[in-house]
Amino acid sequence: MSKNTGIVKDRRYLRHGSEFTHPETPQRLVSIYEMLENPDMAWKFIGIDAREATREELERVHRPSYIDAIAATAGQKMFMLDVDTVATAETYDVARLAAGGVMNAIDGVLSGEVDNAFALVRPPGHHAQAETAAGFCIFNNIAIGARHAIARHRLERILIVDWDLHHGNGTQEAFYGDRRVVYFSTHQSPGYPGTGGLTEIGTGEGIGYTMNIPLGAGADDAFYLRLFRQILVPVARTFRPEIILVSAGFDPYVGDPLGEMKVTPEGFACLTRVLLSLADECCQGRLVAVLEGGYHIQGLTKSIRAVLQELLGETLAAEETLCRIAERADEKVGRLIDRVRTQFEDYWPIL
């Protein structure tokens, strides 16, 4: 069944970091936007405007002093926030625009204006903590979006799925003690930022609601798909989220210069289909994907196209296809699933 898919797309996002060489280059979005502007794609989506996040919205996740520090970089040609993360003259405005674009996408889905959405924004966000920029991230777009959904729309159950190559330490921090959000992350380990161990499961009321699945190098479509189907799906069905948010990083792509995973565009499409099926079952199809990493520009663009075709309902990864791919996974995934079940069975007995 075809879906109305919203897209956040704004050329102002290209203004961040255009003055220097960096893996998180504006060319990432240039390539994606060119794909979207092709005649075979341009007419298929509903445009969602970007807007700048307000100070109040940013403060739901970030400390006032940190926001002030980022604001102070405005107009500077280059300011090193950490060893990997740079602010340039327009970064403060563009980063607010990224967070605002994500909130508008969430509003569009929750209002029924669109069925699902993909916020194609930059800079990325999931490493940004309350008072720290890191890993190319300035403001934590998806965490700000989730807090917006709670504050404005009164949501009580949000599922954040983070399939980026790297652990979203900033997103984990934001919701570590919050049982309104299940944070589920697959990420390469060992690897940057060094967090996301299997035993990091939340604290206080949020214990058991942070689910980290660290993966060794070489995980492929089958590996990821089996994890999603055997761990994420039963937990999500029990939790019954009111919206699913996806930190959609494409650095697990086979050939990405920063990673050692082997996920193909078809694999990303299959993961999207798993999440869309959960959204249909639990929350009227409400799903918003937010761009995070992905540094093989051709692979990034191909993978996003595959995800968008699933969001639109143009392609439909059938259950038999998902089963067939998942069955290819080697024995390592079975051992990992057993460890995850042991870790979480007290919190999610369905496992």
Indicate which residues carry an active-site annotation.
127
Tally the residues of the chain. 351
What ranges in the chain are assigned the alpha helix state H?
27-37, 55-58, 64-71, 91-111, 141-153, 169-175, 221-227, 233-239, 265-282, 297-312, 319-326, 331-344
Q: One-letter amino acid identity for 121?
A: V
CA distance 274 to 279: 9
2, with CB counted inside 10 A (0-12, 13-18, 19+), is exposed
Quote the tokens at residue 12. Answer: 């102002």
Exposure string of 99-124, with b = 16+ CB inside 10 Å and e = fewer, is: bbbbbbbbbbbbeeebbbbbbbbbbb
Strands 79-80 and 86-87: what pairing? Answer: antiparallel
Quote the tokens at residue 348. Answer: 């999610």
Bridge partner residues of 47 (DSSP): 7
